[in-house]
Amino acid sequence: MSTIDLAREGFRAAPTENERVLEAVKLFKEGKAAQNFTARARLLEAFTTSDFTALLAKGFTLQALAIAQNITNEFEPVLFDMKVNDFNDHKLVDLWSGDAFEEVKEGEEYKAGTLQYIEKLLHRAKKHGRTYGLTFELRINGLFSQLADFPRYLANGSVRGQKNAVTGLLLTQAGAWQSSFFQEVENVALSRESLLAAVKKVRERKNHRGDRVGGDQLVLVYGDGLVDTVDALLNPTTEEVRRPGANDETIVTTQANPLNGKIAHRLQSDTLADRLGNQNAWALLKSNTSDLPSLIRTQVEGLEGLDIRVKKDQGSYVGGGEVPVDQGSFNDDTIWWRGRDIWGIDPGFKEGTYASNGG
């Protein structure tokens, strides 16, 4: 009868930690296959060790980060990233209004510049996460499929959390645009005329620096109800103009589409659509490349991305000795895995925003 020698397993024999992480993930993938009884036995034995669960957690972190990069967060074009070192409130530094450099003549001293803070705009990083458990019963029954999906759960959860946070800032509980977020909220249907008028309103405003807001880097935000309308408005590069001519004739000429190039990004959001009270509602935001970004995403320096850990509190036997990790938590016999992501999403500059509840 053969015995399992864990010392020879790759997650212990490999020379580097990265290789041991890869071996732990490999053993997990092989062992969760129902038809591979030998690998299943090796996996169950590996779960009795403390190092295997820790290595597997690191492997899951790498998988989750890779998956998260391939998950679409439709709000990325409007999220401007700021880095901080703590969880405190921070006044927004106006990075876009720095003093203009002036000529420094020979022998002259450089004139001092100052950092400008926006007193009313605060942003901060916050902690988010979930725990997932592999119960004692699932382990004994060899049902590891839930744990195998763990990295995807975390990746999806992280991105979905950010999308929900943005939606919570833009919309009220009733599904209307949040008047405290937008500079102006009207109630007009999306059309060629209403979109041109909204762009003009935004362009002609003055910002907190005393400069014109301008119409560049505008993002059109909308839900399912306006997909065809937006395509009809923005896709054509030209449009027909009809005017009366002599003898009751109609003269048809072609001119450039005045909306062409006015919108930098189209942001069609299913997350918004799920909560919009009127599927014909639409809005304008400034993108993350603008000097007036509408949304600020804050992260803690050095803590970007997902972090996954395993909880090991299985306790000790009454007669002495530690209980193996595979027996799970002292409280519920479950091996708990925790995913954490640190970010905060807060309103940015209002001057470049506009919204309509759709008419």
> What's the mean pLDDT when you consider all of the chain?
81
- Contact residues for 186 (Cβ-Cβ < 8 A; gap 6+): 354, 355, 356, 357
Query: Is residue 346 very low, low, confident or very high in pLDDT (cuts 50, 70, 90)?
Result: very high
Q: Which of 42-56, 167-181, 240-254 has the highest mean pLDDT?
A: 167-181
Interval 341-354 mean pLDDT: 92
Interval 216-243 mean pLDDT: 85
Please give the residue that has the higher pLDDT: either 347 or 111: 347
Q: What's the maximum distance between 2 C-alpha atoms anywhere in the chain?
A: 108
Model confidence pLDDT, tens digit, residues 53-95: 778 777 777 777 777 667 778 899 999 999 988 888 888 877 6
Cα-flanking dihedrals φ and ψ of residue 206, to 5°?
Answer: -105, 140
Paired residues of 286 in beta bridges: 218
CB–CB of 302/54 below 8 Å?
no
Cα-flanking dihedrals φ and ψ of residue 337, to 5°?
Answer: -115, 135
pLDDT of residue 202: 92
Whether residue 143 has pLDDT greater than 70 = no
Q: DSSP assignment of 176-228, as one string?
A: SB-TTTSS-EE-----HHHHHHHHHHHHH-B-TTSSB--SSSEEEEE-GGGHH
Query: In Å, how far from its chain's centre is CA 28?
Result: 29
pLDDT of residue 288: 92
- Contact residues for 182 (Cβ-Cβ < 8 A; gap 6+): 283, 350, 353, 354, 355
Q: Which of 238-247, 253-262, 276-285 has the highest mean pLDDT?
A: 276-285
- Contact residues for 81 (Cβ-Cβ < 8 A; gap 6+): 288, 297, 298, 299
Q: What amino acid is encoded at 168 in this protein?
A: G
CB–CB of 346/124 below 8 Å?
yes
| Of 170, 154, 125, the residue nearest 345 (C-alpha) | 125
Share of the chain above pLDDT 90, in %: 24
| Of 165, 140, 139, 174, the residue nearest 269 (C-alpha) | 165
pLDDT of residue 67: 73
Interval 190-206 mean pLDDT: 91
Cα-flanking dihedrals φ and ψ of residue 326, to 5°?
Answer: -70, -10
Query: Is residue 1 very low, low, confident or very high in pLDDT (cuts 50, 70, 90)?
Result: very low
Please give the residue that has the higher pLDDT: either 4 or 109: 109
Whether residue 262 has pLDDT greater than 80 = yes
Q: With left for phi above 0 and alpha for psi between -120 and 50, is residue 222 left, alpha or beta?
A: beta
| 308 token code pair | 């996954």
pLDDT of residue 297: 94
Ranking 47-51, 87-91, 179-183 by mean pLDDT, the lowest is 47-51
pLDDT of residue 93: 77
Query: The whole model's pTM is what?
Result: 0.75
Interval 122-137 mean pLDDT: 82
pLDDT of residue 165: 94
Give dist(CA 211, CA 230) in Å, integer: 30
Please give the residue that has the higher pLDDT: either 320 or 124: 124
Query: Is residue 319 very low, low, confident or very high in pLDDT (cuts 50, 70, 90)?
Result: low
Cα-flanking dihedrals φ and ψ of residue 85, to 5°?
Answer: -115, 5
| Of 53, 33, 43, 57, the residue nearest 6 (C-alpha) | 43
Interval 292-308 mean pLDDT: 87
Share of the chain above pLDDT 70, in %: 83
DSSP letter at 325?
A: G
Query: Is residue 148 very low, low, confident or very high in pLDDT (cuts 50, 70, 90)?
Result: low
pLDDT of residue 17: 77
CB–CB of 272/224 below 8 Å?
no
pLDDT of residue 113: 72
Paired residues of 79 in beta bridges: 295
Query: Is residue 15 very low, low, confident or very high in pLDDT (cuts 50, 70, 90)?
Result: confident
Distances in Å between the alpha carbon of 213 and those of 157, 159, 163, 206, 312? Answer: 36, 31, 26, 6, 54
